[in-house]
Structure 1
Amino acid sequence: MTATRTPTPTEDRLEPVDLGYRQLRLGAGPIAVSVRLRSAIVGAAVAAAVLVLGILGLGLGTYPLSPDAVVRALLGGGDALDRTVVYEWRLARVIAAITLGAFLAVAGALFQTVTRNPLASPDILGLSNGAFTGMLVSVVVFSASWPLMTAGAVIGGLLTALVIWAFAHRGGAQGFRLIVIGIGVSAMLASANTWMLLEVELETAMFASAWGAGTLNGVTGPPLAGAIACGIPLFAVLLFLAPQLRQLDLGDDVAAATGARPQLVRALVLLAAVGLVSISTAVIGPVAFIALAAPQIARRIARTPYLSLPLAALVGALLLLASDLIAQHVLPVTLPVGVVTVSVGGLYLVVTIVQEIRRRA
């Protein structure tokens, strides 16, 4: 006769609670992955929206194309002029909006996960401004090409992250202390950027100012391909660290007891996030609020207690692509995409701050 073990009250509290989510199990053996059914459905819907907006973006412009003409051109059919418009004029811009929007959203999700603060995004903390400062120095001092500009952006972002962490770590790098220090550093960097723009030649200043607003204008294939090539290894690192990153939600002590190395994982994740932000900034400039809003929007529409990196990436791609279409075709005048994201993101930031204050009250 087998004895039945009665769980203690503590063990009973630690049992997972069934919240009514159905899960899909993909694969078998050690590579099997469980996916929440709602997250999968929401992700598919967001991906479909990205596809629709992408086709719309390829068709809108001074030479309009119907959706079926766009699809035919993408498949190698249709008129030669249609293929030229799609491949040479518009495709790089749409791909940049999708990929770099995903980069920014994933970076924001990583910062918010590690710091456990919904306001901890690269643009709020000043990392985007730091990356732009590094890129601006490479342009002003060295008249750099895109590879050196990217290196300058990465160095600027890393140095900014180190400065913020050094000041905030003394009191614990969580909570509003980190946010306030990041805002202060961001303001200082913005002032330095303005001073540099006032001191350089007019042509360089106009080029850098347009870039500093955050724009997809002038995105070409080689820089975009380089950005994607640099981002793929970072995503590979994050894929490897994903299980340990989830363990950090349980606290450092529990994570360490289950085999994770919290400090190393946190450092590698933040380095990858800074790299994604810096790469994006080197191509399209500092685009604000995508990194802040996309992860939280993804969490709310999926109704999950944690941030999903794939869903955040899809939402980030959708937000940046939609913002660019608004900046190009909806408003009476054509604006940089960063102006649209700032306008919409400012309202989101106010709502988030009010909710955070109410939660802490």
Structure 2
Amino acid sequence: MLPARATVLRRGSTSLLVDRRGTTIGVLALLLALGLAAWSLGLGELRFTSEDIGRILLGGGTLIEHDVVVGTRLPRAIVAVLVGAALGASGQVLQRIAANPLASPDVLGISTGASLGALVSLLLIGGSAVVTMVGALAGAAIASVLVIGIAHRQGASGYRIILVGIGVGALGSSLIALILTRAESYAAHSAAIWLTGSLSNRGWTHVQVIAVALLVGVPALAVLSRHLPVLELGDDLAQILAGRAAALRIGLVAVACGLAALATAAAGPIAFVALVAPQISRLLLGGRTGGPFLSAGIGAVLVISADLAAKHLFPVELPVGILTACLGAPVLLVLLARAARKGSA
């Protein structure tokens, strides 16, 4: 019995060490994201020093300077950081629940559902930005309910959630293609830009949407994510240890999908951030699994960095989703290759 107890203690100490290391790295990542966001306020056709930025934020400066910094650049930077954090945390939870590194809102159809809802609002209803966000939320909510509802019919295992999500995403993609082919050319072009994921023209309404998502989702994840280690043991053992494994799993999936839905509503479907952030988290922890907070910090850095690059490194500003897709596609191929090697071993 003594050696077994010693083993348990060592494992507990290792987990505590990983948690502390993950929290520290997460804080540093979040500080880096905030630093990049602050730096972005001074970049552009009108350049400002840090002293200028401080003066403008405190109410000084001309009307033009105030409009550029407070009305345009600041909400864009805040949305980038918050959207990245929401997507990173969402991807971490979904990957741990499904026990699959390929699990993300993109794969599970949540982002596709949000895109479909936004397209319906843009092309069929012709609504404003607020109506478009409401449509994106509604589409993501419907996709989440479909995934959770269908998968839960037989226990909501991680493998079943992935399969159902792929099917829901395929259905959503087909409907998106159908709507785009029926739309007028100008409207279809505007919708295609939104579908790439863009942070241009983000305002304080978008900040409020994603801020509400994090204010509600982060405390919920803080409570529910404590059960993730038990759920990772498998459905049968988790049911014995936790007694309500299915309910916990559904709750975590619902919160993760909600974060991804509101992030997509605020900035469009920014691809692969939710997939890549947990993988970087695992690399930083030496192959061990980190918590949602660490992935949230990494996601924030990824999105604000990609937005800065998309805005300032090219002759024409690119949608941020294009750069995140260029980053995420190779990661996806690597993960698929690893899965294939494990399957053939």
Are 1:117 and 2:100 matched, yes or no?
yes
Aligned letter for 2:312? Answer: H
Residue 292 (structure 2) aligned to one of 287, 309, 315: 309
1:211 is matched with which residue?
194
Q: Could you tell me how far apart the structure 1 residues matched to 2:284 and 2:268 are?
A: 29
Residue 334 (structure 1) aligned to one of 306, 310, 317: 317
Once the two structures are superposed, residues 62-82 of structure 1 have per-residue CA deviations (whole angstroms, 9 ceiling, x without a partner) of 111223433443355566654
Q: Could you tell me how far apart the structure 2 residues matched to 1:281 and 1:150 are?
A: 8
Once the two structures are superposed, residues 17-48 of structure 1 have per-residue CA deviations (whole angstroms, 9 ceiling, x without a partner) of 3776875xxxxxxxxxxx84422432233123
Are 1:94 and 2:77 matched, yes or no?
yes
1:22-41 equivalent positions in 2, closer than 5 A: 23=17, 36-41=19-24
Q: Could you tell me how far apart the structure 2 residues matched to 1:73 and 1:123 are?
A: 39
Q: Give percent identity, aligned residues only.
A: 33
Q: Could you tell me how far apart the structure 2 residues matched to 1:245 and 1:144 are?
A: 40
1:125-140 equivalent positions in 2, closer than 5 A: 125-140=108-123
Distance 1:271 1:353, change over 3 A: same
Q: Could you tell me how far apart the structure 2 residues matched to 1:18 and 1:247 are?
A: 14
Q: Contact between 1:57 and 1:325, CA under 8 Å: does it hold in 2?
A: yes
1:123 is paired with a residue whose SS is coil
1:300 is matched with which residue?
283
Aligned letter for 1:136? Answer: L
Q: How much does 1:190 deviate?
A: 2.4
Aligned letter for 1:234? Answer: G
Once the two structures are superposed, residues 281-301 of structure 1 have per-residue CA deviations (whole angstroms, 9 ceiling, x without a partner) of 112111100000011212221
Q: Could you tell me how far apart the structure 2 residues matched to 1:22 and 1:281 are?
A: 34
1:101-112 equivalent positions in 2, closer than 5 A: 101-112=84-95
Aligned letter for 1:62? Answer: E
2:270 is matched with which residue?
287
1:191 is matched with which residue?
174
Aligned letter for 1:129? Answer: T
Q: Could you tell me how far apart the structure 2 residues matched to 1:12 and 1:234 are?
A: 37
Higher mean displacement: 104-113 or 239-248: 239-248
Residue 11 (structure 2) aligned to one of 7, 17, 23: 17
2:232 is paired with a residue whose SS is helix
1:125 is paired with a residue whose SS is coil
Once the two structures are superposed, residues 340-359 of structure 1 have per-residue CA deviations (whole angstroms, 9 ceiling, x without a partner) of 11111111111222233334
Higher mean displacement: 73-82 or 238-247: 73-82
Once the two structures are superposed, residues 214-261 of structure 1 have per-residue CA deviations (whole angstroms, 9 ceiling, x without a partner) of 100111112321332244222222222122233212333443444452
Bigger RCO (CA 8 Å, 6+ sep): 2
Aligned letter for 1:153? Answer: A
Q: How much does 1:171 deviate?
A: 11
Q: Contact between 1:213 and 1:286, CA under 8 Å: does it hold in 2?
A: yes
Once the two structures are superposed, residues 288-323 of structure 1 have per-residue CA deviations (whole angstroms, 9 ceiling, x without a partner) of 000000112122213362231111111000000001
Higher mean displacement: 120-129 or 183-192: 183-192
Q: Contact between 1:140 and 1:200, CA under 8 Å: does it hold in 2?
A: yes
Higher mean displacement: 80-89 or 340-349: 80-89
Q: Contact between 2:197 and 2:320, CA under 8 Å: does it hold in 1?
A: yes
1:152 is matched with which residue?
135
Name which one, 1 or 2, has greater alpha-carbon Rg. 1
Distance 1:172 1:254, change over 3 A: closer
Structure 1 gap ranges (5+): 1-5, 24-34
1:60 is matched with which residue?
43
Higher mean displacement: 285-294 or 123-132: 123-132
Are 1:74 and 2:74 matched, yes or no?
no
Q: Contact between 2:108 and 2:162, CA under 8 Å: does it hold in 1?
A: yes
Q: Contact between 1:70 and 1:86, CA under 8 Å: does it hold in 2?
A: yes
Q: Could you tell me how far apart the structure 2 residues matched to 1:84 and 1:149 are?
A: 24
2:106 is paired with a residue whose SS is helix
Instruction: Give the TM-score of the pair, scaled to structure 1.
Output: 0.83
Distance 1:254 1:16, change over 3 A: farther
Aligned CA-pair RMSD? 2.9
Aligned letter for 1:305? Answer: R
Q: Could you tell me how far apart the structure 2 residues matched to 1:248 and 1:171 are?
A: 13
Structure 2 gap ranges (5+): none
